[in-house]
Amino acid sequence: MNQKTYKKLVANQISNDFKSAIEIITVPLPEPADNEIIIQNKFAGVNAGFDTLLCQGKIPYFNPTLPFELGVEAVGEVIAVGKNITTFKIGDTVATTVRGGGYSEYQVIDGNLAIKVPEATPEILTIIPTGISALVALEQVGEMTTKETILVTAAAGGTGHIAVQLAKLAGNHVIGTCGSEAKANLLKKLGCDRVINYRTEDINEVLQREYPKGINLIFECIGRKVFDICVNHLAVRGRLVVVGFISEYAEQLEVVNQPRIYEKLFWKGASVRGFLMPLYQEHSAEARNRLFNLLESGQIKVIVDSTEFRGIASIPSAVDYLLKGKNCGKVVIKF
């Protein structure tokens, strides 16, 4: 192993602004312990919401000691193995979802935490963990069936575009919201039955006019006014799954002065449910295998955003790009 040092991104202070919380540091690359492998990361996925909330100290189940590493999903190549490792060899390509392992040129991890993949491509990152989240949220939390009307907000995003396709594959009528013509065109290609570009149409008016019976299942990623509209349009026994609230990640949570939503839910027997992937890990392996099969058989497509972000220094720009909703598909960093 010729490499002596490597760069990684750490948060060295808690701050509302991602850029002011972080620093790029150079650290020595150690030899692997007996049960460890060393991976040279080729691509890392960007999770702007999680990254931002982490730097704000707002992830309730995580109380980090500063400084702490950032980034989660990555794909790369094994460059060294510990003496007890029998499942991997040098040159294998692997995917990882270790918190702190993504925004780093290399990672040294326990061999059990890596998953062997056919090749280290950014498309893998659209399945692990992004696609897994979409599938588990729809099926386990949303209790998706068939012949329902399903609404996906931020439908052209990394998670949203997979949710759209899974909902269609299950035999449902799918509505997708987005904010540009390019995204609308993508959603039509992916099989969306009704695309609502909120810059040219009013979501509330469209739902009122075209879906008077309401929506059975809503996959909601945006928050604020969009969340309120979605709650109002739930059907009898409708389910709204909160997958995120990207409109509020970079700012203080909006204080709302209006009647509580139980009155809207009660008379419809409807529900609002939170989804957080770490709480559903028991479904992860099955979901991953199924998604890989769907991808291989051409039943789903994975979309990687075409804007190139290269190297550790590009990560703040990538986070900002995603928070502003500019992306079509999954945003990745290339090392």
Length of the chain measured in residues:
335
Q: How far is CA 31 from CA 39, 76, 83, in A?
A: 12, 18, 11
Distances (CA, A) of 131 to 126, 160, 254, 303: 6, 9, 29, 11
pLDDT(2) > 80: no
Per-residue pLDDT at 175: 98
The pLDDT value recorded for residue 59 is 87
What's the pLDDT tens digit per position in 235-263?
A: 999 999 999 998 888 778 899 898 999 99
| pLDDT value at residue 311 | 97
What is the pTM assigned to this prediction? 0.93
What pLDDT score was predicted for residue 245? Answer: 92
Average confidence score pLDDT of the chain? 95
- Determine the pLDDT at residue 280: 97
> pLDDT tens digits for 290-318?
999 999 999 999 999 999 999 999 999 99
pLDDT band at 330 (very low <50, low <70, confident <90, very high): very high
pLDDT at 286 over 70: yes
Q: What is the pLDDT of residue 49?
A: 87
> Does the pLDDT at position 179 exceed 90?
yes
- Tens digit of pLDDT for each residue in 195-246? 999 999 999 999 999 999 999 999 999 999 999 999 999 999 999 999 999 8
- In the predicted model, is pLDDT for residue 76 greater than 90? yes
For the stretch 123-159, pLDDT in tens is 999 999 999 999 999 999 999 999 999 999 999 999 9
pLDDT at 1: 67
Confidence of residue 3 (pLDDT cuts 50, 70, 90): confident
CA dihedral of 320, 324, 326, 332, whole degrees rounded to 10: 30
For 94-127, the pLDDT digits (tens) are 999 999 999 999 999 999 999 999 999 999 999 9
